[in-house]
A and B are shown apart, each in its own frame.
Chain A
Amino acid sequence: MARDKYTKKMPDAVDYYRRSFLKRLGVTTAAAVGATYAHGAWGGKSLADAFSDFFQQHYQRMTAEELQETLSRIERKAQQQYGTGITCTDTPPLEGVVFGYAINISKCKGYRDCVEACAEENNLPSDIRYIHVLEMDEGSMNLELADRYYEHETVPVEGKYYLPVQCMQCDNPPCVKACPVEATWMDSDGIVVVDYDWCIGCRYCMAACPYSARFFNWTRPDLPADRINPDTNYIGNRPRPVGVVEKCHFCTQRTRKGRQPACQEACPTGARIFGNLLDPNSEIRYVLENKAVFRLKEDLGTEPKFWYFSDR
């Protein structure tokens, strides 16, 4: 349904037909050479897969059949690269939903349970964490003096408070404006997502993001087979290729099926409140209407859909 919407938007560009013609030609040739024969020169893939990878369309321009073909190719690739079977699905945004998040900084105690749960859920390589829990001096909002590498016997520490920072899913996202190839965009449910296969790895978006919420895969993600979460989606937590940018996507593989994001589920203090901003009875709306909420770097006009509040 959402796919038809995307596909209709596409202009009848000559470029598109050349691309699909070349792809068809390539696939036919590949089928002739040997569809299942894998070779190192083709990245360990079969020639057909290597060709289809090369000519893969932008996520929003793929037809339903192309998308299905792509998803099964991603599953084959994960099997070949990581030695484990995954299921990769397409999760279009839900109608009538805009997601929002609020964190109660009075309740966050800096346990970092959210950081770990996020890494497990989203198949993060060992050097990337979407959530930074910043340790801040009480009464200060100086982000330059925040410590995200704090290590203590027990937390919370006297005189400190904890400020978890992740992608703010801005309503006016500077990263999307910076991307030269439209590999990242804001979906209708307000989540800013990345088509990892369209990303050229220029990292302009990382420079544009004022929250340091985007991360670059300098190496192929080191994922042991037993640690891979097999329940993945195209736009979210599937294993990423090397040389692309990734970011928090509010666990699209979960939230677009009605579940809570992994960080909310893991938070032992209940500091994290997630929900639909368009539903007047949702918990997030109660917080926004009844608590003194603030947003990070609000003066930049990025309009984050991510709020902080305190009990006082």
Chain B
Amino acid sequence: MIITSCYITSIKNAESAEGGRIVLRLLSMIVAVATPCIIGAGESDPGQPGQRYPEAPEFTVQPRKDKPKFDDCSRCHEEGDTDPEPRRLKTRHVREIDHGGNRFWCLTCHDGDNIDYLRTSSNENVDFDESYLICGSCHADRQKDWYFGGHGKRVSGWQDERVILACTECHDPHKPAVKPRQPRPQPPVRIGLERQENHPPATSRAWNR
């Protein structure tokens, strides 16, 4: 509570427009950090996830929830029926969680109390379409690149509004490594040339390659 009152004093001092944004971020931090203390352990009141890099160029993430493959957890789960005990699940669940070196289980990322949502390590409630906020809890460098366009894929034109793919579009969150795949056919050999095996440079002829 002492920490909370310190924050509030600093908020009162902030006056500029930029200060206003800091105030908002501080408020959300207070909600995230201080609420468990006020309400008491066990009862969580998740805060709203914040935009991690406000200076990044604006973007929208291509939604994934409306795809036919997507299934709401609440189709089977009712509110409050999730057993928080880590165990091996069989029916209708992902069998292997090959992510994080077997240290993870469902409720590391899924929110047990609100099964159609995810939860960050700082206890923020996150929609399935904002799953990138979860990934950044561990992969902060990649997440920063993704916000600015150094990782991930832009699906809109280079001039249009920026629409990018979510992390989970390419990486299965339960098994994130990209699987090997068959390549497309070999390129044709130019007319008049014969394909030759690669030789050490000393004996090779550039026009035979």
Contacts and interface: CB of A to CB of B under 8 A. Distances in A.
Interface of A: 104, 109-113, 115-116, 126-129, 132, 142, 144-145, 147-156, 215, 218-219, 255, 257-260, 264-265, 267-270, 273-276, 281-284, 286-287, 290-291, 311
B157 A218 contact: no
Interface stretch (B28-36, B113-121, B146-154): B146-154
Interface residues of B, number: 36
B165 interface: yes
B56 to A, nearest CB: 9
B180 interface: yes
A109 B181 CA distance: 9
Contacts of A267: 153
Contacts of A287: 149-150
Given A111-B183, A153-B182, A258-B158, A129 B148 contact: no
B192 interface: yes
Interface in B109-163: 142, 145, 148-160
Contacts of A150: 183, 186
A258 B159 contact: yes
A113 B191 CA distance: 23
- Chain A interface SS verdict (over half): loop
A212 B99 CA distance: 42
B150 A270 contact: no
B204 interface: yes
Contacts of B170: 268-270
B152 to A, nearest CB: 5
Given A276-B159, A311-B142, 11 more contacts: A127-B191, A145-B198, A147-B198, A154-B182, A215-B190, A259-B158, A260-B154, A260-B156, A264-B154, A267-B153, A273-B149
A3 to B, nearest CB: 22
A163 to B, nearest CB: 14
A113 B201 CA distance: 30
Contacts of A142: 201
Contact of A282 (B149, B157, B165, B195): B149
A155 B157 contact: no
B199 to A, nearest CB: 9
Interface string B51-68: 000000100000000000
